Homo-oligomer: A and B are copies of this chain.
């Protein structure tokens, strides 16, 4: 059976072997001393830990460039994230079909989200509208949101919001470069 050592995993992930072993040991003992980690069971364990052993229903709000790029990420579906609904406010886009998913009006959010049991939202709307849309999503029972708009959003516990802001990342990069020149 194919195995992999903490050393190799560390190199791939950009960390240390000790770190990999400590992290894994926190969730159980998956390796064999002298051998390493058998890959297929390790993958299964990690999928279980990360909550990827089930599939998630996802609603994409915003069918602009960022939304469409996200929609075509093959890795979403591979990891069990299924975009089962797309919402936009542009009448020119509503009704279109993207690979079997029809774009609906944001006005239909409540019905769509509650009717399909969506738990995760992908927010790809303009920054100025992001908080309002988030609030509505939370009102519909969405439990987690990945926000692509360049604003920091807030939602009440226990809703989880992650902001993915390229500007913020550039500033972090700028700081890193500034301190090493």
Contact A162 B172 (CB under 8 A): yes
Chain B: minimal CB distance from A24 (Å): 14
CB distance from A9 to the nearest CB of B (A): 12
Interface size counted on chain A using CB atoms at 8 A: 49
Q: How many copies of this kind of chain does the complex include? A: 2
Asked if A158 CB lies within 8 Å of chain B CBs, one says yes
Give the distance to chain B from A162, nearest Cβ to Cβ, in Å.
Answer: 5
Do A158 and B180 form a contact, CB below 8 Å, given A70-B166, A164-B166? yes
A sample of 24 inter-chain contacts (CB < 8 A) reads: A50-B171, A51-B177, A51-B178, A51-B179, A65-B65, A65-B66, A65-B68, A69-B69, A73-B150, A75-B150, A75-B167, A76-B166, A76-B167, A76-B170, A79-B171, A81-B170, A119-B177, A120-B177, A122-B166, A146-B166, A158-B180, A162-B172, A162-B173, A164-B164
